[in-house]
A and B are shown apart, each in its own frame.
Chain A
Amino acid sequence: MKSREITWQAGGQQGEGLESLGEILASALNHLGYELYGFRQFSSRIKGGHTNYKLRIAAKAVGTIHKSCDLLIALDKDTMQNEALNIQEQGIILVDSILAQDYSGQARCVAIPFKDIAQKHGSQLQKNIAALGCTVAVLGLTEEDLEETLRKKFIAKGAEVVAENVAVLKAGIEYIKTEVPSLLGVLPLPELKHKEQHLFILGNEAMGFGALSAGAKFMAAYPITPASEVMEYMVKKARKLGGQMLQVEDEIAACTMATGAAYGGARAFTATSGPGLSLMSETIGLAAMTETPLVIVHSQRGGPSTGLPTKHEQSDVFAALYNTHGDTAKIVLSPSTIEEGFYDTFEAFNLAEEYQCPVIVLADLQLSLGKQTMLIPEYDKMEIRRGNIVEASSLPPIKAPEYFPRYSVAQTDGISGRIIPGTPNGICLGTGLEHDESGRPTEAKDMRIKQTEKRLQKMKTFLANYKKALAVDAPYSEADALVIGMTSTRSCIAEVVEILRQEGKKINHVQVRLLLPFPAKELEQYIRQAKKIIVVEHNATAQLAGLIRMHIEQCPHLENILQYDGDIMYTEQLLASCKEVL
């Protein structure tokens, strides 16, 4: 019988090749057409070099992991002590036979001499490939399903290495066939109705790829978990395209350099997390005041201060919106899937140039470090819009002391013509001080008011035009409840909503994808359609609920489901919490 889906998990010490084990399996499954979601977990109870990786394999799109798994590969004690507790009752544990087996749970636990299998056909370093072979056998796959992926992975090291790995893989499969035949194909993969080609991509890479696709060629950044993969991706790709990624002295420099490059006409950005955003706040104000198209990818982790550097949280909403002093005109997008991470980052560069302002792409740890299958971005639909850049050809000659009115207040939409420095006859000034239409500092009250309103008007124009403020799944015009979330809780909420609907409840779901300016009007219509409003978020101060209340007049009572233990949200728990509230 085919299953609905399978969760595979492997735990062991770093350096045992767990990551490549997961990668190879996922890559092969992606080629076979399965939908995948992979997440590497760090457990605080576990010290030292332990690492573990979960992969959810399904026939339809999945966007998060569950707490439990069906098949667990245990290569170290930590895995047996901690992860084995979460296995399904009918699950299977394949434990390295060199470990003491004191497992007393319900699942079937089988000791496998991974090292011996590997050693016999290659070297003991290929223990992970032996485990891959066993996995393949239990899932009912064959060596042919994996061979091509293995070849691709190891061909750079030579045909011999490929052959050796294939031999170990086969030996793993053979071991199950001959020694534990009852395990052969006992956890069959779900049936695929249709097969589509997908990418299997890390959230941070999707955002980096989105930036690159949008023509971003300048990045300056300072390493920080969980955002570093964006700079690591850019450094690999930018140079060949005539761009550059610079690792600079701190986040102040990173953000300011990107702003300088953006002012200079490049598409430029930085990526950071918690503490980095704090350091960037002053420059964000500069970009807002000088109307410079800066893009920041911000991936939230546990705060405040250094907080929980490797743990998930969504507690920087207020910081992303308000950490800069003054009436700051900026945009904060919040993608809720890896695919949206790609498109929103792409779009962020368009918006930054069209509205001449800083744009923050607010992600979170799960979105950044989760890996998901996504459809190949539609090349033809990707459109670059640079907004109102004034070309040299349209400029009449000017001479000192005459300036181009860069900050003209004549336009009703607030958007004035932008000049790329170097353009003849376009000379103008820029300053973080309040300024006149040419960018000269001024304290004249009339101009102060006009310039402030000009900057804020751009945000109103944007909000009126923007079509992707909410991700909506709201089939009921009179709902029992509306569940509202943001960023990476999308998939977990969707699963819970699905279960509740099957139980006969009328539940709507809205994921807020635009946090600033806040799409209050659009959201309000769904709020008014529901008897109960449940706001789900990963922080202790209900920041999203606070925003909703701030923007919606006579806002009905909001129920909060808050999680701030550093872990991601699991369907089981969220379902229970929702039921309590309902």
Chain B
Amino acid sequence: MAVLQDFKNNVKPNWCPGCGDYAVQMALQKAVVQLGMEPHELALVCGIGCSGRFSGYIYAYGMHTTHGRALPFAQGLKLANPKLNVIACGGDGDGMAIGLGHTFHAIRRNINITYVLMDNHVYGLTKGQTSPRSDLGFKTKTTPTGNIETPVSTLEMALAAGATFIGQGFSLQLQELTDLLVAAVRHPGFSLVNVFSPCVTFNKVNTYEWFKDKLVDVKDIGGYDAGDKGAVLNHVLEHEGLLTGLLYENLTKPSYEKISGLAKNNQMQSVKKLAPDVFSELLEDFY
């Protein structure tokens, strides 16, 4: 059985000291150990951003793709190689700006992968521009007088897209985040885990303290029912999305693999010549 050390690659991240992404890295490593995974059974697929560097910092198969495209890559990988545990990662620019379309459609499609979105409300790697998750009035290099565009509500969007698993974590809550990631990977379908992962360098507003102050754990909401979509939406609206925990899970909607039939018959790993009878049968269409 693999231990934490087996998932460490000794590469020193080029993240700033104090960046929220360190905690996500740690939580993910703990989660995969807890899940009993071996490093070669895991593939991390990332977008571009500070958070996109993730795949290079964990000892497992890793693919650092292009900006906003981690999800399509991860979905193709999972369907082609179903035994692999596939986890996609990226920032809020990656998943909510340039890759928003893919995020929405990946949720709809419900392929059995996990998406960890590191949400810091700003563009880190390109040194501090506004993000679709930036609050109104947020000042950045590209919004010197304050952001005037409504922030995307990741959670409402995910619910609208027909999500089957939505979790939200916070970099300061390592244990909760680890548990959430374990649950997400176990979920038989697409699981979204949005993590508030502060950027200590370019976001002086949405800081660790700011989040700590505002976040409410759904465990502390009396009668919270993660299976009641309408009620979940109401909570999300009421708390302006600033909730943590397993927010929503729907186990009745089957995964893409199940509906398509791939769960029963997936031959994508078998690359060989068609059997002679299959070949002859295919010819029939063209006589």
Contact = CB atoms under 8 A, between A and B. Distances in A.
Interface of A: 27, 30-31, 197, 199-201, 205, 209, 212-213, 215, 217-218, 220, 237, 239, 241-244, 246, 248-250, 252-254, 256-268, 282-283, 285-286, 290, 376, 379, 382-384, 386, 399-401, 403, 420-433, 439-441
A239 B77 contact: no
Contacts of A432: 48, 64-66
Given A263-B73, A286-B65, A422-B61, A242 B268 contact: yes
B76 A257 contact: yes
Interface in B89-146: 101-102, 104-105
A400 B76 contact: no
Interface in B18-70: 38-41, 43, 45, 48, 53, 55-56, 59-66, 69
Nearest to A386: B271
Nearest to A290: B63
Contact of B287 (A199, A246, A248): A199
Given A422-B61, A429-B56, 5 more contacts: A209-B282, A217-B267, A253-B102, A432-B65, A439-B62
Interface in B240-287: 260-262, 265-274, 276, 278-279, 282-283, 285-287
Contact of B266 (A242, A246, A259, A425): A242
A346 to B, nearest CB: 10
B228 interface: no
Given A250-B101, A401-B9, A420-B81, A286 B272 contact: no
Nearest to B257: A244
B79 A265 contact: no
A12 B26 CA distance: 68
Contacts of A200: 286-287
Tell which of A218, A256, A259 has the most Cβ of chain B within 10 Å. A256
A198 to B, nearest CB: 8
Contacts of A422: 40-41, 43, 61, 81, 83-84
B273 A264 contact: no
B66 A237 contact: no
Contacts of B282: 209, 212-213, 237
B287 A264 contact: no
A260 B76 contact: yes
Contacts of B69: 252-253, 256, 282-283, 286
A362 B271 CA distance: 24
Nearest to B62: A429
Contacts of A253: 69, 72, 101-102, 105
A136 B84 CA distance: 59
B102 A241 contact: no
A136 to B, nearest CB: 19
A256 B273 contact: no
B262 to A, nearest CB: 6
Interface of B: 5-11, 38-41, 43, 45, 48, 53, 55-56, 59-66, 69, 72-81, 83-84, 101-102, 104-105, 260-262, 265-274, 276, 278-279, 282-283, 285-287
Contact of B81 (A199, A248, A257, A265): A265
Contacts of A256: 65-66, 69, 72-73, 76
A427 B62 CA distance: 8
Given A215-B271, A248-B105, A260 B80 contact: yes
Tell which of A217, A257, A290 has the most Cβ of chain B within 10 Å. A257
Nearest to B280: A379
Contacts, number: 209
A243 B72 contact: no
A30 to B, nearest CB: 7
Contacts of B62: 429-431, 439
Contacts of A258: 76
Nearest 6 pairs of A and B residues by beta carbon: A242-B267, A260-B76, A264-B80, A257-B76, A266-B80, A264-B81
B40 A239 contact: no
Contact of B77 (A260, A286, A426): A260
B9 A400 contact: yes
A244 B79 contact: yes
Contacts of A257: 72-73, 75-76
B66 A263 contact: no
A417 to B, nearest CB: 15
A218 B55 contact: no
A106 B113 CA distance: 69
A41 B64 CA distance: 45
A199 B286 contact: yes
A425 B40 CA distance: 7
B268 A218 contact: yes
Tell which of B7, B55, B80, B269 has the most Cβ of chain A within 10 Å. B80
Contacts of B79: 218, 244, 246, 261, 264, 266
25 contacts: A30-B287, A197-B287, A212-B282, A215-B270, A252-B102, A253-B105, A257-B76, A258-B76, A259-B76, A260-B80, A263-B73, A264-B84, A266-B80, A266-B269, A268-B76, A399-B6, A400-B8, A401-B8, A401-B9, A421-B81, A422-B61, A422-B84, A427-B39, A432-B65, A440-B56
A286 B65 CA distance: 7
B28 to A, nearest CB: 15
B283 A199 contact: yes
A428 B61 contact: yes
Contacts of A201: 286
A384 B271 contact: yes
B262 A421 contact: no
A250 B40 CA distance: 31
A215 B272 contact: yes
Tell which of B10, B60, B78, B282 has the most Cβ of chain A within 10 Å. B282
B274 A243 contact: no
Contacts of A428: 61
A400 B80 contact: no
A28 to B, nearest CB: 11
A424 B270 contact: no
Given A256-B66, A424-B40, A440-B11, A215 B273 contact: yes
A258 B80 CA distance: 9
Contacts of B63: 260, 263, 290, 429-431
Nearest to B273: A384
B77 A421 contact: yes
B138 to A, nearest CB: 28
B80 A376 contact: no
A212 to B, nearest CB: 7
A328 to B, nearest CB: 14
A203 B217 CA distance: 58
Contact of B283 (A244, A266, A376): A376
A382 B275 CA distance: 12
Nearest to A209: B282
A283 B99 CA distance: 13
